[in-house]
Amino acid sequence: MTIKIKKFGDILTSRPAGREAALVTLAYESQIKNAATVTLDFEGVKVLTPSWLGEFLNTLVENKIKNIQYQNTSNPTVSSSIEILSA
C-alpha cells in the first residue's frame, strides 16, 4: 500500500500535524492494517522536518504498522529527516 504524503501538504513541519496526518491515514485507509508493506511516497513534498515524520511514523508503529518503506526521497529535507530518524 502506498501513502502519498503530499496530500497532507507540501510543507510538513509540526509534530501535532504529523500525528494528525497519521491518525487520518489510519482512519480512512482501511487497508493499511492488513498491508504487508506500507510505502510512504514523498513526491511533491517541499519541506519535511524530523518532528513531523517522527510523529507520523511513531503513530503508525503504535498501531502495529511495522514494515515501512520510502519512495521519492531525493528532496534534501526528506532524505535528511529519514536519516536522522534512522540513526
Question: Which tens digit of pLDDT belongs to each residue from 44-67?
Answer: 999 999 999 999 999 999 999 989
User: Whole-model pTM above 0.85?
Assistant: yes
How far is 15 from 55, CA to CA, in rounded Å?
6
Instruction: List the chain residues with pLDDT less than 70.
Output: none
What's the total number of domains in the chain?
A: 1
Exposure of 78 in the CB half-sphere (CA atoms within 13 A) = 17
Please report, for residues 44, 66, 67, 74, the alpha-carbon distance to residue 58 in angstroms, rounded to integers and kept in the order given. 22, 10, 13, 22
Instruction: Give me the domain span that covers residue 37.
Output: 2-86
Cβ atoms 1, 31 nearer than 8 A: yes
